[in-house]
Copies of this chain bind each other. A is one copy, B any other.
């Protein structure tokens, strides 16, 4: 089966490499064409446009930065909608607003094209190891059609409801992850300032109530002030928390923690650091006796 993949960024690249390693024929497209090199080198076939890619593939996967990029890829000039035929299935790993996912699904359905919103959690390490957690929304038959492919990328692919439910679940996920990262930064700074070796925190707390993948991965990077190569971007966290805040406002939910976290990412943005790894949060927090 021929697969398409649009968006060869931090996440898309390792995902495509895994699909190639699993033996799939993968057509790829990226707005910045130079970013295709590492996957084309491994056998992916570069396409001239999302439309050309959709014409060639039964399942079109995509993982792009935001709603604006997703809309351009799907419905812009030479977009997926232009090349897709009835029966084409689009699996969108991007994180966008649930309302946008429902709207995109409605527009694609008009031409017989299915959409599964399938945002992921687990970051670059999860994409590399194929241990992502995928939260999906869409018709059960579309999700089952995508499952054999997605399970090369993920340890878990859960249907949470109709289109948009994957994105809603991802926002809940990001309320947790986006808030947890500054919390871990606070713990690291407190340890340092109080004279405890913060680089030993992830191991000392492993297996307890404070443990998590972000503690092991980002906590270790924070304690070592190691931000390269980036495993994500503060700007993405801010975007997700703003989408969560918009949904919460609409539904009357209070998010005191997630809103405080969003303010911290906004401070990073004001410092011109929102393109950096979210571990740079640790440098935002004051601490007299910290290094």
Contacts and interface: CB of A to CB of B under 8 A. Distances in A.
A248 B173 CA distance: 29
A65 interface: no
B286 A183 contact: no
A258 B186 contact: yes
Nearest to A136: B204
Interface string A156-199: 10101100010011011111110110111011111101111110
A68 interface: no
What's the number of copies of this chain in the assembled complex?
A: 2
Contacts of A289: 251-252
Given A171-B190, A182-B256, A191-B168, A209 B251 contact: no
23 contacts: A121-B208, A121-B209, A133-B205, A156-B208, A158-B200, A161-B197, A168-B195, A169-B196, A175-B186, A176-B183, A177-B210, A183-B257, A186-B255, A186-B258, A189-B253, A190-B253, A210-B212, A251-B287, A252-B289, A253-B287, A254-B285, A255-B285, A256-B260
